[in-house]
Amino acid sequence: MSIKVQDTRYKDITARSILYAVLVIAAIYYLAPLFLMIITSFRSMDEIRVGQLIEWPKSFSLDAWAAAWNQVQIGAREELGLKPYFINSIKMVIPSVAISTLLGALNGYVLSFWKFRGSEIFFALLLAGCFLPFQAILLPHSIVLGKLQLTGTVSGLVMTHVIYGVAFTTLFFRNYYVNLPGELIKAAKLDGAGFWMIFYRIILPLSTPIIVVSVIWQFTQIWNDFLFGVVFSDPDSQPVTVGLNNMVNSTTGEKRYNVDMAGAIIAALPTVIVYVVAGKYFVRGLTAGSVKG
């Protein structure tokens, strides 16, 4: 009996070791480009020219980071850093995430507990927005923004991301709310609670997991968006993704790989921080309420 137990434990340890080895190899494979970006951003261009592609910096320098962030003078040419674009992205992403999350919560609440005639058709039509490619709405949406005089503004980008994101947030909240016990809502109605009181006093306090999911999803999608940013913005309202593209693909002057790498890390840093800090809550929120009761 003891021999069988030891044999089972040995097999479990072997299988676990193989799994860990595969995960470590996969992590190294995916983290290698990030490591290369980081060490390159701390190297000078002289080191990059004469050194190897993957080589530890002889002396760490933050000059590339400063050049990627601030406006710098390169000979007779003045190059804009990522700072104004980064600020534009912050101005765009905060209201977009807040508004789309709130609208999604309200839509999910109505579609779950205050159904009306045609609500299922309305939900199906709203879900169609999840499958519309970005390119399909560029022309009609540009006409709408033009008529509203929002073309080339941060407010126009906020409106764009709210409209495109509300289908996803509605889906998240509706699928979460249908698994909440309906007896809570019925009891609140019997006690005289109305639409808004039930929403604020009962539904929202129970919505923390799915709110986290919605915020992380929307933040990532909006911050990383390039197409809407390049089509619907002017130079004064372009987000950080467009600014990074402008900096990397600049055709004038010498190519500065260390500055490009630093700029790419700066542009990606907010989403990395969000996932590092709240990634586990994202997974919990997706699985919360998946089993009713």
Render pLDDT for 208-254 as a digit per residue (tens, 0 to 9). Answer: 889 998 999 999 999 999 999 999 988 888 999 999 988 888 756 67
State the average pLDDT for the chain.
84
Residue of higher predicted confidence among 74 and 79 = 79
- Does the global pTM surpass 0.85? no
Contact between 216 and 282 (Cβ < 8 Å): yes
Q: How confident is the model at residue 63 (pLDDT cuts 50, 70, 90)?
A: confident
- Supply the CATH classification number for the domain 83-287: 1.10.3720.10
Q: Where in the chain is the domain with CATH 1.10.3720.10?
A: 83-287
- pLDDT score, position 93: 95
Residue 11 reports pLDDT greater than 80:
no
